[in-house]
Amino acid sequence: MDVLLSSLLGGLKLSAKLILIIVPLVTLFEVLRHLPVFRRAGNVVEPMMRGVGLTRDAAIPLFTGIFLGIAYGAGIIIRVAQQKGLPARELFLMGLFLATCHSVIEDVLIFVVIGGNGPAILGVRLGLAVVLTGLMARVWKPA
């Protein structure tokens, strides 16, 4: 009985920790994501995106996925991908990048809370995403 009670308490404490991170993070993101700064950021990231075979059309779904995650950002990712009529090659490259590197802020923070090394997780994921997508873009040439 003692074990049950203490584990219940442990589970609730863990949930509380995670919630304390997630709620402010999601709220902050909702408030900030419409700022004009992020619209103009397109110019800065364009050369970087070209390096991994992507054009500006993929910027919004890509960055939504990187910061928000695939499930939460699904609405935006699907809508923009269809509106823009992104070619299959670009959709695949974007998918590959996001598969490796998505929802980074939330994922990293919740593992830091339980004792993980944040920079190590972030660094390896971002590095691998850039290398893999860049390689794939060179293997699969644009039509």
Task: Give contact residues for another protein (rule: CB under 8 A).
Answer: 3-4, 6-8, 10-12, 14-15, 18-19, 22-31, 34, 39-40, 42, 46, 56-57, 59-61, 70-72, 74, 77-78, 80-84, 86, 88, 91-92, 94-96, 98-101, 103-104, 107-108, 110-111, 114-117, 120-121, 124-125, 128, 132
Are 114 and 18 within 8 A, CB to CB?
A: no
Smallest distance from the beta carbon of 143 to another protein, in angstroms?
15
Task: Compare residues 91 and 141 and give the one whose CB is closer to another protein.
Answer: 91
The dihedral region occupied by 55, where left means phi > 0, alpha psi between -120 and 50, and beta the remainder, is beta
In the chain, beta strands by DSSP E: none
Are 79 and 115 within 8 A, CB to CB?
A: no
Task: Compare residues 103 and 141 and give the one whose CB is closer to another protein.
Answer: 103
Question: What is the rounded CA–CA span in Å between residue 131 and residue 143?
Answer: 22
